Amino acid sequence: MALTLDYPGALEALEALEGRGMKLGLERIEALLAVLGNPHKGLRGVLAAGTNGKGSVCALLDSMARCAGLRTVMLTKPHLLSWTERIAVDGQPIAEQGFADLIATVLDAATGMVGAHGSPTVFEVVTAAGILAAHTVQPDLLICEVGLGGRLDSTNVLDLGVAVITGIAVDHAAELGHDIAGIAAEKAAIIKRGNDVVTGADALALDVIRTTAERSGAHSLAAVGTDLPWDGEERGRAGITVNIGEPVLHLFSPLIGGFQRRNLAVAAHTARVLRRRGTSIPEEAILAGAVAVRWPGRMQWIDGSPPLLIDGCHNTEAVAAMVAAAIPLCAGHHTVAVFGAMADKELDDMLAALRPLTKDVIFTAPATARAAPGGDLARRWGTGARVAENVASALDIARSAAGPEGVVVAGGSLYVAGEALQAVGSLGRGRGGCAGINRHGEGDANALHRGASDPRWPRVMRCRP
């Protein structure tokens, strides 16, 4: 008899799997998909790896494709508030019961796997569920974010035709080490024969990716910033601009932070690569998708007294990028940070990257077993550190400390970002991560036409759905 689950039951099943930990390798996911009838075969789209920025690139590509009227499935991780966010169809998280049905189907298929391959991990189950959803929907484009590394990540069973590799830095050191060349090699292992490759990496990491692409028989490789020069501006809370390509695309996006410019450049060129491969994404859709993108919890500014800036910066490079973007936004205002991180991160380095922003920090731990205790972070920080029991309490303390004229910045992990958004009820509000986009992926004209005095910014197309 087939397994049936409601949504709470599916969450309980996933929680039980989480308790078994993480195991890298493709044997289990390949066996699981074989039982399911190999639903990954024949899917086309983009597989995106990288240390930072791959989620933003996926969100931008999804927005551009939907503005072209294409049907999309996007698989990302982790989620902010709901597991359903990890499987989005046409820009919307899958329904709770639909998610539960997929998990039940995958767990049913996994029943006989214990002996030969071992039970699948939570990541493998959710990856298989997402692939099964894509097989069912048969989208014009599947956009999939790699989880950890690339070579042994469960998403690497996919050969979607286009491989994207964003910037490379140290993260997940226990699994990937501290060597940039080694990390780049792990991530470049997503490249398959015949793939078109787009990367935002440079220096040593780019050399490794080029070598891997050649050995893998890739069809082409374009390095944004090296092979494809670009320029652009950071416009504070208004967003970013990027000029790239031939003919030149003049792009505007409400995403906040200078680091997002390279992500936008990578996404725009990837959209052009997809068009060359036969997926119809016209220039107007690339421009409109950049404007209409919605990516909560990433440099998301929420107006208030005080305002709140939320960013899921989850490693040293990401914290440094957040701080560089936040300092001018917070200039002249007392800034209080709420910070929590995962215990397996380079905590001292992350804290060193945070110090230029403020001396006033409330440390906390999000509700996951992976989190570093707030007290441990406070001890590492030293003088001036305070500790709160949870993210919501930390935000209350931070608001009081900042006062109505100050600014509160919350980050250190996507788990912190998610709990901060839950505490303030603002998943769909704010600028930067959400930029005035409503839940249908459509933009409010006033919010979206920042920069409208510049004739290069296009009129916003209506994005699917």
Q: Which residue is listed with tokens 């899917």?
A: 43
CA distances from 460 to 102, 286, 308 (A): 35, 11, 27
Q: Which amino acid is at 161?
A: G
* Nearest CA among 50, 49, 48, 51 for reference residue 319: 51
Chain centroid to Cα 269, Å, comes to 18
Planar angle of CA 339, 345, 348, nearest 5 degrees: 70
- The SS3 of residue 99 is helix
Residue 136 region by backbone torsions, left for phi larger than 0, else alpha for psi between -120 and 50, else beta: alpha
In sign, the C-alpha dihedral spanning 364, 323, 456, 279 is negative
Span 310-344, pLDDT tens digits: 999 999 999 999 999 999 999 999 999 999 999 99
Domains of the chain: 7-292 (3.40.1190.10), 300-424 (3.90.190.20)
Pairing of strands 335-339, 240-244: unpaired
* Nearest CA among 294, 328, 293, 325 for reference residue 411: 325
Residues 6+ apart with CB under 8 A from 382: none
- R_g of the chain computed on alpha carbons: 21
Burial of 225 (0-12, 13-18, 19+ CB in 10 A): middle
Structural tokens at position 4: 């049936």
Span 379-418, pLDDT tens digits: 999 998 999 999 999 999 999 999 999 999 999 999 999 9
d(CA 377, CA 339): 9
Q: Which amino acid is at 301?
A: W
Helices and strands (H and E) in the chain: how many: 16, 17
User: Is the CB of residue 109 less than 8 Å from the CB of residue 20?
Assistant: no
3-state secondary structure 268-333: HHHHHHHHHCCCCCCHHHHHHHHHHCCCCCCCEEECCCCCEEEECCCCHHHHHHHHHHHHHHHCCC
- One DSSP character per residue, 145-211 reads E--SSSTTSGGGG---EEEEE-B----SHHHH-S-HHHHHHHHHTT--TT-EEEE---HHHHHHHHH
Q: Which amino acid is at 18?
A: E
CA distances from 239 to 61, 191, 259, 329 (A): 17, 32, 11, 12
Pairing of strands 87-89, 161-165: unpaired
pLDDT tens per residue across all 465 residues of the chain: 689 999 999 999 999 998 777 788 999 999 999 999 999 999 999 999 999 999 999 999 999 999 999 999 999 999 999 999 999 999 999 999 999 999 999 999 998 775 667 789 999 999 999 999 999 999 999 999 999 889 999 999 999 999 999 999 876 566 666 789 999 999 999 999 999 999 999 999 999 999 999 999 999 999 999 999 999 999 999 999 999 999 999 999 999 999 999 999 999 999 999 999 999 999 999 999 999 999 999 999 999 999 999 999 999 999 999 999 999 999 999 999 999 999 999 999 999 999 999 999 999 999 999 999 999 999 999 998 999 999 999 999 999 999 999 999 999 999 999 999 999 985 445 556 543 322 223 333 222 222 223 332 333 344 455
Chain centroid to Cα 66, Å, comes to 18
Q: Which amino acid is at 102?
A: L
d(CA 321, CA 234): 13
Chain centroid to Cα 237, Å, comes to 20
pTM of model > 0.85: yes
